[in-house]
């Protein structure tokens, strides 16, 4: 259902020309791409291709922000604050999902003609 909504909202369209023509801002483009990839990774349905949407951009400034909140640390152990790397992790997760999709598409074609006992 959410994948249909992505298509209905046009989030599956490459919006870079809209930024160039100043119809939307760069921030809106990033938000559109993030929404598309969030939906794609969470609710992917095998027949839905990723079309022409670019992988989400990595924001080095945002990734350098320190994780908020308290951290668990052992007594006597000093923990060095770590950068969040939120956008880098999201980017890599999207790439991993695309690899998974390629595997899901390739495996059935390799298994054609095999019985269940032969496969395992």
- Is 33 within a domain? yes
Q: Is residue 56 part of a domain?
A: yes
Task: Report pTM.
Answer: 0.53
Q: Is 74 contained in some domain?
A: no
Alpha-carbon separation of residue 43 from 82, 106, 116 (angstroms): 30, 20, 28
Q: Is 94 in contact with 40 (CB distance < 8 Å)?
A: yes
For residues 59-67, give the mean pLDDT. Answer: 90
**What is the residue range of 37's domain?**
2-63+83-115
Distance, CA of 92 to CA of 110 (rounded, Å):
27
| Domains of the chain: total | 1
Q: What confidence tens digit (pLDDT) does each residue in 83-120 have?
A: 889 999 999 988 888 888 777 777 766 656 555 444 33
Q: Would 42 be classed as within a structural domain? A: yes
């Amino acid at each position: 259902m959410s994948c249909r909504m992505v298509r209905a909202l046009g989030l599956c369209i490459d919006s870079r020309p809209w930024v160039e023509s100043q119809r939307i801002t760069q921030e809106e483009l990033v938000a559109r791409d993030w929404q598309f990839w969030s939906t794609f990774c969470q609710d992917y349905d095998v027949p839905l291709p990723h079309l022409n949407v670019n992988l989400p951009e990595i924001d080095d400034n945002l990734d350098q922000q320190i994780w908020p909140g308290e951290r668990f640390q052992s007594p006597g152990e000093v923990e060095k604050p770590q950068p969040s790397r939120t956008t880098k992790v999201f980017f890599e997760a999207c790439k991993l999902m695309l690899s998974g999709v390629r595997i899901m598409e390739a495996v059935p074609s390799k298994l054609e003609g095999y019985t269940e006992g032969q496969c395992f």
